[in-house]
Structure 1
Amino acid sequence: RQVGQQKQLVGSDGEQILIRSMFIYEYRDSQGSWFDVNPILAEARELAEALLEVEAGIQKDQKLLENAVEKVQQFLMNTGAITTLEEKRLLRITAIPGRLKSYAPLPVMFAAQPIDQNVTELVQYSAKLAGNSLYKVSILLYRKPPDTSVRLQMAQVRARDHFVLIPIPFAAIEQALSNEATSTGLLAQYAERYLPGADLFDDRNAIGDTLCFFGRGNLLHSLEEDLRRNQGIGLFGLRKSGKTSLLLQLGFAMRQYPVVHIDLQPYGGKLRYGAELFNKILHELSLLIKKRTPNATLNWETFQRDCPAADLGTDFVRQVSDLAKLLSESGHQLPILLFLDEIERILPTKEDARERAEEFNAFFGGLRALSQEKQLLSILIADVHPDLNRINHWSQASVPTNPVFNFFKEIFVSPFSEEETTEMLTEIGKMMGVDFDKETLVTIHRESGGHPFIARQLASLLCQKTDQEKSDSGKLIKLSAVTRYLKRPFKYSGILKDYFEQSIWADLKKRKNFSAMAILQLLACNEELPEGVKEEALLNKLKSDFSESACLDALRWIEDVGLVVREELEDDDSYRLEILLMSRWLKMQMKPEEINQWQLK
């Protein structure tokens, strides 16, 4: 409409879209040039409507871009950086404290979903900036992760041009925006991850970096659908299997909902913890409201920490209901999403006092009321074992039954397929300028059983220990050069050794799950059997020490968490260890005569 009236362009991105779409033509004569609407479409009523829609869409996109860039500037200001706005989506950091100090000046770009051109533009812009560092560094902020082509280009310019690109999900910036310390910590975390010398395979904490998160796309989608319809979810699996990483990615993916994520480790061992958790939830919801409506008046009541949760449940439900209205008014979608990690920290045990079991019942009773009666809350719990969902009666006398018995839909985090393991190692390797030959990738998957933490630690070990050959995208690791490390990884990696010892075996000992321990030893000592260990032979071997019921319960759990794999044969079920390294570790703990005793004759 503007072009039709003024016969000229003002240089907006939207006008370029209209030219490429042939809505607008350029005309030339002896007097000069001008622009006008395509004459074939000029009189069409549909065109007017289409143009109005395009114009509205362009204005909306421009507003979103301006808002995003303002948030980026605020985030960088929180970290102590001094910035200037160069273009619509491009900023320049002229000075910044911390690890990035020596790399300034450096560019920062925002892209909804990065494309190859964005990487090229950052390389070209960085080349114009003064600096004494061997490496050039830039920051790329994104809403949707870059595809494989962009990741490959990132790896290529890193190896070829000494150009380091630090990708950060915009959702993480939005979450950190309200706190200077959180903003500074987030930037430092990503700088450490991507600056020269970083080992991206050696990730020992939960993965918040979207670019380094792999293999759970379908599960994430399923969890999102369940949470939207108030389905309680129990997420279970081995330690380091990716449960907390899933919660972090869910928080990013569902940021249009109010998300409260609580790690329950600090509350373990406390007799009274319900009031603290109620306060934590109310505080986090209030912060979410304040982020969108700073002038909102909030009058939620802080509970006394030593007050029993049973005395607070009704008030807590009322206050959350009031905050839910304000959350909806501030633009959040409902329900509220509550993620509770490490649930075993507050789960009553036989040794606990009666009050602790009552505290658990009162706390989860309030949450269940908000979920089932009010339809305002979706709860996701995460732990190694599904005890919370399977224990009905507590050991403490006269304490009512578990209010969330069989309340949660149980989902176990399964190991990666070979394709998923290959994708993870290949894509992370690209960002480090490292390639693995096919044989190495297959061997890592087989040894790790598709357990992502173990696979990454094996890849990290190989990167540290080998002199890689050159490949098109950087360095190449061949199986022939790394076999010794894959055959005896515990000699070279204390991290892997400690993982099996502390995160798996010590957990089974603590729970006195001796039947599961015996089954794992039996399978380790019979891994050469072509069909695995048949169930009948397994039960016969263990019947003098364990009941059939105890063995079958143990088999179900170790299969659910991916320690063993079951195959249905024509005449019986057969079992074998999923993680071959588990077999190696177990045999390291046994003398030859012990191994011989476990072998089936």
Structure 2
Amino acid sequence: MDTTRAEEKVRPGINPRVVLAHFDVTEREIIDRFGQDWYVTNGGGELWLSQTSNYRYALIKPTDIFQEMFNLDREMVLLFSPYENFEPRTLDAISKATSQHQALRLERICSILVSKDPNIATKLRELLKNDQEAQIVIPFTYEELRSSGSDPFFFRNRFIEHFYARDLFASESPLKKDLYFFGRTDLVHSLINRHRSNQVSGLFGLRKTGKTSVIFGVQRGLQKVDGASAFIDCQTPAFHRLRWNQALHHVLMAVRKQNDLSERLGQVDDYTDSQAPLLFEKHLRRMSEALGSKTIMLIFDEVENITPTVSPTEHWREGEDFVLFWQTVRSLFQSSSGLFSYLLVGTNPLCVELPTVGTADNPLFAQVPLEYIPGFDVPQTREMVRRLGKIMGLKFDETIYGRLTEDCGGHPYLMRHVCSVIHRISGTERPIRVDKTLYSHAVDIFLRDYTQFMEMILSVLREYFNDEFDMLRMLSRGDHKAFQEFAELSPLYTNHLLGYVVLQEVDKRFDFRIEVIRRHLQAREKYKKLYMSIEEKRSEISERRNDIEQRLRRLCRMQLLASLGEGDARDSVLAILGSPRSARCAGYPYSDLFDGNRSGILFSDIPKVIRKHWECFRNVLGRDMEKVERDMKTINELRVDAHAKDISDEEMAVVRVSACRIKEALSAFFA
């Protein structure tokens, strides 16, 4: 027997040293009830949110069954709300109770609320339903706890109801709290340390890599060390449509508002070309002094919106505003150590890569260290997925963490949404084991149903780096020769792909780092490969022809039936088949006439059906019957399963065009 494990077991009960004098009689009875299934470790105390708002709390520790079912191993806040009507401020009492104890001691993701409001469950659910970062709060009423008896499943069922139903992986917005913030603590600390050392920073990455969540993490970290910051959203037209001198006023307003200062900044019209730099320095110094001479971190998010050549606003994209704005900021930064630092965040690092802007030197070039946001490693993936998964009743096999990291390249947004699919397809019986079979099924569904996620992430490359995006397409379809030719022209062609963690380089060979991106592009680029062998050409034509033939048979069967009725449709097809096939098929059901294994219908028969009944097909295949016939003839004449002939690159290009036209029309019809 493992005696160490036995000693670690947590059994129900109440610590004899717990003081409960501040609870009323009913609350002590309820604590006794919790002591039948939980271990009450601490009597907590009273909390006053205002003169008329009083709460009491205790701390309880989950016993083994709760640790196993819900991955809870720390003490939890048990809060009593002795009011008949639940108010949202009750959740502030939970936060205040948590703050009374060491952070590592208490469970941060979950707490328990006991209320006298009989509708507490409904009200709490309504309050929290739109807050993706809300703590899980398990509600009970005074009355139900007093009458629950000793039912061993009472607490378990309530926890299951509130734990397993919520999808903690389906997070879309940036995380503003620490509660579900995983894997970026070292990065946050690094950025804060650079700021405190009077250094500037740049952080770039693909969309949905968690850049804005990192910003919020930096701001929370600065608050903990009594620092100061201001967040400037460059994406809003309220900022990027301003001229450079007006933008300086906007930055000052952000500092004042976000730090609760009362500095009089004057009117925006005061910030003329000549006065704006002077006023910027004057007011920033005053606000720093008002904050106790703190160094203020200015955080510019979505900085590509004020970047030359890519900004949506002309005076930033093509004018001098970028140069004048950053000349002002950089000059003051260099001459006033300890006044402020700045952090540039975005998807496109062009603002720090351009050596010149027009005829002027770029003030940011070689001044801001460029850092790409890294992907999660396996331990970070495990921390996030295991923690959230066990709360939702998903027990991941250890091998899944490595596969998930590899398939998604450590991209947290992709990994969370793959796990969200796992949650959705796993049913209601929890906990459930997530093995490689369930995982592989979820990845297939993700690739089929969530292509918009991959497209959104790739849009950065498509919008800003067309050559690099084309290189990805080459690699996905196996055109390694074409890819290598680009890569050897200049390292700039691969720097962004490596920085964005889309590709990895091993022994001077490049491959996809994000496997689901490779599979997504591979499906899109399936029939676009260049430099093909004759066997590859034959295989592609055969595959595409067979797929199109099956769809055309189905289309003919459906359209003739709808237009002619089964009897006339059957007679028409038999007439086209001709002797001896029509005699052999005379007794077949109508649907069997389009089964090549039974009726012997050929690809060459299908154009005859379509021409004879063109009115049935013109709204599906297009208005030009001659073009449709030419496309089908091209596909059929190059069918490699019947003619083992050489196929030139020109012939391959023609058959691809024809197959694409037919396939697009059929896909639109069957969508």
Q: Residues 312 and 164 (structure 1 numbering): CA distance in 2 closer, same or farther, change over 3 Å?
A: farther
Q: Residues 435 and 319 (structure 1 numbering): CA distance in 2 closer, same or farther, change over 3 Å?
A: same
**Paired position in structure 1 for 2:12:** none
**Paired position in structure 2 for 1:541:** 482
Q: Does 1:510 align with 2:478?
A: no
Tell me how far 1:488 sits from its aligned partner. 4.3
Identify which range, 348-357 or 479-488, moves more after superposition.
348-357
Q: Does 1:381 align with 2:351?
A: no
* Residue identity opposite 1:459 in structure 2: C
Tell me how far 1:108 sits from its aligned partner. 5.7
Q: Does 1:452 align with 2:412?
A: yes
Q: Does 1:110 align with 2:62?
A: no
Tell me how far 1:248 sits from its aligned partner. 0.4
Q: Per the alignment, in what secondary structure is the counterpart of residue 111 of structure 1? A: helix
Correspondent of 1:427 among 387, 397, 418: 387
Tell me how far 1:135 sits from its aligned partner. 8.1
Tell me how far 1:361 sits from its aligned partner. 2.0
Correspondent of 1:313 among 262, 274, 277: 277
Q: Residues 563 and 324 (structure 1 numbering): CA distance in 2 closer, same or farther, change over 3 Å?
A: same
**Paired position in structure 2 for 1:582:** 517
Give the whole-Å Cα distance in 1 for the aligned partners of 2:233 and 2:301: 5
Q: Per the alignment, in what secondary structure is the counterpart of residue 265 of structure 1? A: coil
* Residue identity opposite 1:574 in structure 2: R
Q: Does 1:491 align with 2:430?
A: no
Q: Per the alignment, in what secondary structure is the counterpart of residue 345 of structure 2? A: strand
Q: Rg bigger for which structure? A: 2
**Paired position in structure 1 for 2:471:** 519
* Residue identity opposite 1:299 in structure 2: R
Tell me how far 1:442 sits from its aligned partner. 3.0
**Paired position in structure 2 for 1:391:** 354
**Paired position in structure 2 for 1:294:** none
1:202 and 1:456 in contact (8 A); partners too? yes
Correspondent of 1:285 among 252, 255, 274: 255
**Paired position in structure 2 for 1:181:** none
Q: Does 1:365 align with 2:322?
A: no
Point out which structure has higher relative CO (alpha carbons under 8 A, 6+ apart).
1
2:164 and 2:391 in contact (8 A); partners too? no
Q: Does 1:324 align with 2:277?
A: no
1:94 and 1:106 in contact (8 A); partners too? no
CA shift digits 1:346-373 (9 cap, x unpaired)? 1122894589632222222222133211
* Residue segments in structure 1 that go unaligned for 5+ positions in a row: 1-18, 21-64, 166-193, 292-296, 527-536
1:93 and 1:106 in contact (8 A); partners too? no
**Paired position in structure 1 for 2:193:** 225
Give the whole-Å Cα distance in 2 for the aligned partners of 1:445 and 1:239: 18
**Paired position in structure 2 for 1:162:** 158
* Residue identity opposite 2:525 in structure 1: M
Q: Residues 489 and 196 (structure 1 numbering): CA distance in 2 closer, same or farther, change over 3 Å?
A: closer
Tell me how far 1:563 sits from its aligned partner. 0.4
* Residue segments in structure 2 that go unaligned for 5+ positions in a row: 1-16, 19-44, 59-76, 140-151, 537-671
Query: How many residue pairs are counted as aligned between the two chains?
Result: 450
Q: Does 1:131 align with 2:118?
A: yes
Identify which range, 366-375 or 253-262, moves more after superposition.
366-375
Give the whole-Å Cα distance in 2 for the aligned partners of 1:562 and 1:239: 12
* Residue identity opposite 1:541 in structure 2: A
Tell me how far 1:431 sits from its aligned partner. 3.2
Q: Residues 111 and 598 (structure 1 numbering): CA distance in 2 closer, same or farther, change over 3 Å?
A: farther
Tell me how far 1:444 sits from its aligned partner. 2.0
How does the TM-score come out when normalised to structure 2? 0.58
Q: Residues 444 and 158 (structure 1 numbering): CA distance in 2 closer, same or farther, change over 3 Å?
A: farther
Q: Residues 542 and 507 (structure 1 numbering): CA distance in 2 closer, same or farther, change over 3 Å?
A: same
* Residue identity opposite 2:408 in structure 1: S
Give the whole-Å Cα distance in 2 for the aligned partners of 1:281 and 1:115: 37
Give the whole-Å Cα distance in 1 for the aligned partners of 2:172 and 2:110: 33
Give the whole-Å Cα distance in 1 for the aligned partners of 2:456 and 2:476: 18
Q: Per the alignment, in what secondary structure is the counterpart of residue 389 of structure 1? A: helix
How does the TM-score come out when normalised to structure 1? 0.64
Give the whole-Å Cα distance in 1 for the aligned partners of 2:531 and 2:321: 49
Tell me how far 1:461 sits from its aligned partner. 0.9
Identity within the alignment, %: 20
1:258 and 1:334 in contact (8 A); partners too? yes
Tell me how far 1:595 sits from its aligned partner. 7.2
Correspondent of 1:261 among 226, 231, 235: 231
**Paired position in structure 2 for 1:411:** 371
Tell me how far 1:401 sits from its aligned partner. 2.1
**Paired position in structure 2 for 1:477:** 434
Give the whole-Å Cα distance in 2 for the aligned partners of 1:401 and 1:158: 70
